[in-house]
């Protein structure tokens, strides 16, 4: 298919796959942490649920919501990455992801970002950075016990 490189870069197989079959797409009945994310500009909405044990480890994580392929895939991949990590590790991952999405670092500079590199294409699309980071901002808000956040 003759798509421009930019679209090919962004809509990689892994993003399309997670968009179509999002992982951990469910509610958790008794989460220890929870937040609602909202991007009023595009109407993207997603809820992030977490269970964190007394050693500060994410033992379960999930999301539900509606949004574009980028935000949905980002949420899905995020849930697969933060499971079984400590809050400290999650925070570092978020920081690295944020720096990559906004073009501050290249994905190769940080081995942690290997599975997130598909999103590095958004750095050229300022309007889409928020789509990629919405899930992470929501996760961050849940960890800080802010229940509603907006990325505008």
Partner 1 sequence: MDTVSKDTISQKRETPGRILEIRRDFPILNRQVQDKPLVYLDNGASTQMPKQVMDTINAYHEFHHSNVHRGVHQLSQEATELYEGAREKLRAFIGAASTKEVVYTSGTTESINLVANSYGLANLKKGDKILISNMEHHANIVPWYMIAKKTGAEIVVIPILDDGSLDMDALSELMDNNVRILCVNHVSNALGTVNPVKEIAKMCRDYGVITVIDGAQAVGHFPIDVVDLGVDFYAFSGHKMHGPTGVGVLYGREELLAKMEPFMGGGDMILSVSFEKIIWNELPYKFEAGTPPIAQAIGLGAAVDYLNSLDREFLESYENDLLEYATEKLKSVSGLKLVGTAPGKISLNSFVIEGVHPHDIGTILDGEGVAVRTGQHCAEPVMDRFGIPATTRASMAFYNTFEEIDALTDALLKVTELFDVTD
Residue ranges binding partner 1 (CB under 8 A): 1-4, 6-7, 10-11, 16, 19-20, 41-44, 66-70, 125, 127-128, 131
19 vs 52 by CB, closer to partner 1:
19
Entry field: residues in the chain:
152
- Residue linked to tokens 């978020």: 94
Strands 33-39 and 148-150: parallel
- Contact present, 36 and 146 (Cβ < 8 Å): no
Strands (E), 21-100: 33-39, 44-52, 58-66
43 vs 103 by CB, closer to partner 1:
43
Q: How far is the CB of 138 from partner 1 (least distance, A)?
A: 17
Q: How far is the CB of 123 from partner 1 (least distance, A)?
A: 13
57 vs 125 by CB, closer to partner 1:
125
Q: How far is the CB of 19 from partner 1 (least distance, A)?
A: 8
The HSE-up count of residue 49 (CA atoms within 13 Å, CB side) is: 13
16 vs 148 by CB, closer to partner 1:
16
């Amino acid at each position: 298919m003759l798509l421009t490189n930019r679209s090919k870069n962004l809509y990689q197989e892994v993003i399309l796959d997670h968009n179509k079959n999002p992982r951990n797409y469910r509610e958790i009945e008794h989460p220890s942490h929870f937040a609602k994310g909202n991007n009023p500009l595009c109407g993207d909405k997603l809820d992030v649920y977490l269970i964190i044990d007394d050693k500060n480890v994410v033992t379960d994580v999930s999301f539900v919501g509606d949004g574009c392929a980028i935000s949905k895939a980002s949420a899905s991949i995020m849930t697969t990455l933060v499971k079984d990590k400590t809050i400290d590790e999650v925070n570092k991952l978020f920081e690295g992801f944020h720096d990559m999405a906004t073009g501050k670092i290249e994905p190769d500079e940080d081995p942690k970002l290997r599975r997130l590199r598909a999103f590095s294409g958004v750095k050229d699309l300022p309007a889409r950075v928020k789509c990629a980071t919405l899930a992470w901002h929501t996760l961050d808000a849940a960890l800080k016990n802010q229940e509603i956040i907006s990325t505008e």
